[in-house]
Structure 1
Amino acid sequence: MAAEATTAKFQNPDFQPDFRPELSVTSHDGLHFWQFMIAGSIAGSVEHMAMFPVDTIKTHMQALRSCPIKSVSLRQALKSILQTEGPAGLYRGIAAMGLGAGPAHAVYFSVYEVAKKYLSAGNPNNSAAHAISGVFATVASDAVLTPMDMVKQRLQLGNSTYKGVWDCVKRVLREEGFGAFYASYRTTVLMNAPFTAVHFATYEATKRGLVEISPESVSDERLVVHATAGAAAGALAAAVTTPLDVVKTQLQCQGVCGCDRYNNTSISGVVQTIVKKDGYKGLMRGWIPRMLFHAPAAAICWSTYEACKTFFQELNDSSSSSIIT
């Protein structure tokens, strides 16, 4: 009787044994590598398109002493953009982000999933593995996104300098050379490495905590869990890394709309210039819109990514069951 009770206690009626060993080679958590890439591409594109106006405001605020905005006030920055260019000004450069976000996030999430698989060794509580996997992911994805991010930020500053994405690309190549597209890559990696480490570690820990609080309702509230964990991770990581984001904006927008041009593109040199002109508070320019961007953006990104993974998982399961039957 005791044996029967123990068996019933640990019996899972939903468990379906899978005896296809080839899946361990071609997939991870039931998904194929290309499915992680598609899910990440969709999530990244949705995230950046939805939050683009907030990113435009942040770029204007961080472009030190640039036109047309002199103030670091979020409200005045928004008012200035609307007065000079209208609502369309909030979306200048969105085409460049559209070209870069999809491929970059495909690389970002697929590298993260693969690295997490091997570094965590199946332990879901390994925060160090999540953080290190995030660093690997951002180094790879930043190599893809940085050129288009530079084009995007230059277009965001106003319509008097470049006519569009391709005009900006051609003129930068002709006037500044290919290296200008990666002038901020070192700073971007140094910013995004701690950003991503904090982001992924916080996301996984928050998600695990929310699941432990209410394990019986996790299936019904799956989207809320991912969105909440993503928002918390995005806000914390954004606040921590704002100074390096200001440096990145300065390097990507140098020489545009009155922004300083730097002979020495080292991080310390740019920091010294910012502090000299605007004090230490200059290193925190745009921290409010940065947090307002990353909290909902991460919520959107993670919930979209997990929804896409769920779709692919169900698709794979239905395909497997049809093959078996």
Structure 2
Amino acid sequence: MIHKSRPALLQPQDVGDTVGTLMLHPGIKAFLCGSISGTCSTLLFQPLDLLKTRLQTLQPAEHGSRRVGMLAVFLKVVRTESPLGLWKGMSPSIVRCVPGMGIYFGTFYSLKQYFLRGHPPTALESVLLGVGSRSIAGVCMSPITVIKTRYESGRYGYESMFTALQSIYRSEGHRGLFSGLTATLLRDAPFSGIYLMFYNQTKSLVPQGMDQLDAAVTPVVNFGCGIIAGILASLVTQPADVIKTHMQLSPMKFQWIGQAVILIFKDYGLRGFFQGGVPRALRRTLMAAMAWTVYEEMMAKMGLKS
């Protein structure tokens, strides 16, 4: 008698792994990894973003000839708005950064796999990948970015994000929801491109095999490379960030980039284009370094090469 061999039964964990693999496209996995990394970094570094916005929007009469530093603004916020005031704008920051980082990393992974087929990017390819990914994310999240900036400034008393969207649309139209978009892209796209270039180039300088000696060394190497890349990219893009902030807070006064440049220079001088540079550099550097470190660790756990 001939017995037909039965197929091996799948164990419960095998079924779960198979279903998970079929359901989640690599691009979606990259989106999820980016969203989680964005959540962690946003919660930690929101106070630095608020201090940056407040420093950039100080009126000339508020500081006169003396410089107002980050510590003075920090103490003023804590004294007048309580320590929790440092996290003002947290809701739009989360709504912006969580899907925004997911869109950025998901797009980055998809573009890298499509155009590079898994090969390490050159310096120019890194810039193009960063610019393209951030531009898509920036356009998608522009309305939330406007609300976030206005929350952080302390000049607007929106009760919720929904009422903020309604108020802006009613008073300024759809253009209000995308105010400062060009300046935002001029800030974020070059930052991401320059950051990714420096990040990949710095990682390439690490001796091969060094980060494989111990699993605990890899995140440290990634974070260190991120710090170096973030500092350099922040310095280059700081003026665009100042212009973006003013255009989003006062769209009637700052209607286009050239006009914003003239008015900022008239009111603050050349130094005005670098106001808030310290907290922004700290936040963007630490946030980007943490985001990339968490992203690469999670991608490795999922068996994907970032």
Normalised by the length of structure 1, the TM-score is 0.80
CA distance in 2, matches of 1:68, 1:169: 30
Corresponding residue for residue 305 of structure 1: 295
Deviation per CA, 1:235-290: give whole Å up to 9, x if none: 211111000000000011117xxxxx42x522111010000011000000111111
Inter-CA distance 180–162: structure 2 relative to 1 (3 Å threshold)? same
**Shift in Å, 1:122:** 4.2
Tell whether 2:271 aligns with 1:281. yes
Q: Equivalent residues in 2 for 1:146-165 (5 A)?
A: 146-158=142-154, 161-165=157-161
**Shift in Å, 1:97:** 1.2
Corresponding residue for residue 176 of structure 1: 172
Q: Secondary structure at the match of 1:51?
A: helix
Deviates more, 1:125-134 or 1:50-59: 125-134
Corresponding residue for residue 71 of structure 2: 75
CA distance in 2, matches of 1:160, 1:126: 44
How much is the aligned-residue C-alpha RMSD, in angstroms? 2.6
Q: Secondary structure at the match of 2:208?
A: helix
Q: Which amino acid aligns with 1:116?
A: K
Corresponding residue for residue 319 of structure 1: none
Inter-CA distance 66–97: structure 2 relative to 1 (3 Å threshold)? farther
Corresponding residue for residue 269 of structure 1: 259
Tell whether 2:198 aligns with 1:208. no
4+ residue runs over 6 A deviation: 66-70
Corresponding residue for residue 295 of structure 1: 285
Q: Which amino acid aligns with 1:80?
A: K
Q: Equivalent residues in 2 for 1:1-325 (5 A)?
A: 32-65=26-59, 72-124=68-120, 126-158=122-154, 161-212=157-208, 214=210, 216-217=212-213, 219-254=215-250, 261-262=252-253, 265-313=255-303
Normalised by the length of structure 2, the TM-score is 0.84
**Shift in Å, 1:216:** 4.9
**Shift in Å, 1:140:** 0.5
Contact 1:40 1:305 in 2 (8 A): yes
5+ unaligned residues in a row in structure 1: which ranges?
1-25, 256-260, 317-325
The count of aligned residue pairs is 282
CA distance in 2, matches of 1:215, 1:88: 39
Contact 1:68 1:80 in 2 (8 A): no
**Shift in Å, 1:164:** 3.0
Contact 1:103 1:144 in 2 (8 A): no
5+ unaligned residues in a row in structure 2: which ranges?
1-20
Inter-CA distance 213–80: structure 2 relative to 1 (3 Å threshold)? farther
Contact 1:31 1:312 in 2 (8 A): no
CA distance in 2, matches of 1:205, 1:160: 42
